[in-house]
Homo-oligomer: A and B are copies of this chain.
Amino acid sequence: MMKPFRELINFEDAKIIIMEKTGVMERKEEVSILQACCRVLAEDIVADRNIPGFSRAAVDGYAVRAEDTYGASIKNPIRLRIVDKVFAGDTGSKKIDKAECIQIATGAAMPYGADAVIMVENVKVEDEHIVITKPVYPGANVSPEDEDISKGETVLREGDVLNPSKVGVLAALGRERVVVYSLPEIAIVPTGSELVPPGNKLEYGKIYDINSYTLSSLLMNFSRIHVHDIVEDDEDSMEECIDSLLHMDYIIFSGGSSVGERDILVDIIERKGEVFFHGIALKPGKPTLFGKIGSTLIFGMPGYPTSCLTNAYVLLLPSVKKMARLPHEERKGYAVLAEKIVSTIGRHQIYTVKVRDGKAYPVFKESGAITSMSEADGYIEIPGNVEYIEEESKVLVKYF
Give residues in A with beta carbon < 8 Å to B: 1-2, 33-34, 36-37, 51-54, 56, 60, 85, 87-92, 103, 105-109, 120, 143, 147-149, 155-156, 162-177, 192-200, 202-218, 220, 227, 257-258, 260, 303-305, 309, 312, 365-366, 368-371, 373-374, 376, 400
Contact = CB atoms under 8 A, between A and B. Distances in A.
B213 A167 contact: yes
Contact of A305 (B172, B216, B312): B172
A208 B172 contact: yes
As for how many copies of this chain the complex holds, the number is: 2
A171 B213 contact: yes
A368 to B, nearest CB: 7
Given A202-B174, A208-B174, A309 B168 contact: yes
Interface of A is mostly: loop
A147 B368 contact: yes
B167 A89 contact: no
A340 to B, nearest CB: 22
Contact of A202 (B53, B162, B211, B218): B53
Given A1-B60, A89-B192, A213-B34, A165 B373 contact: yes
A208 B106 contact: no
A167 B220 CA distance: 13
Given A2-B60, A108-B205, A213-B33, A309 B164 contact: yes
B108 A214 contact: no
A303 to B, nearest CB: 7
Name which of A164, A197, A373 has the most chain B CB atoms within 10 A of its CB: A164
A194 to B, nearest CB: 2
Contact of A91 (B120, B205, B260, B373): B205
A92 B205 contact: yes
Contact of A205 (B54, B210, B369): B54
Contacts of A208: 171-174
Given A91-B206, A174-B208, A169 B258 contact: no
